[in-house]
Amino acid sequence: MSNTVKSARELDTSPPPLPRLGRLNTITGCRRELALIYAQARYGAMPWEHATKAAHVLHSIAKMISGSEFEERLAALEAQANQEGGR
């Protein structure tokens, strides 16, 4: 019989920690993450099916960011126009 003592790391059955995502609150952040996903799929670290799904999600996030930024710019222009019209 072998008397081996297993370390806590060997006994740990929890999944490995998820990789840290870049900031997805800008279109640039989405682009960086998309490039990372592409590279992972290209070199076999991620199945293309998963990469495709992730790319669609990132595209949706980028479109929402773009729409939000447009709304903010429009609101600022409208506020400026209202101030100039009241002078």
Residue 65 lies in a domain: yes
Cα–Cα distance, 6 to 12 (Å, whole number): 10
Q: Quote the tokens at residue 76.
A: 């600022």
> pLDDT tens, 47-78?
999 999 999 999 999 999 999 999 999 999 99
On whether residue 34 sits in a domain, the answer given is yes
Q: What is the pTM of this model?
A: 0.68
Q: How many domains does the chain have?
A: 1
- Dihedrals phi, psi of 39, to nearest 5 degrees: -60, -40
pLDDT in tens, 19-58: 667 789 999 999 999 999 999 999 999 999 999 999 999 9
Residue 62 lies in a domain: yes
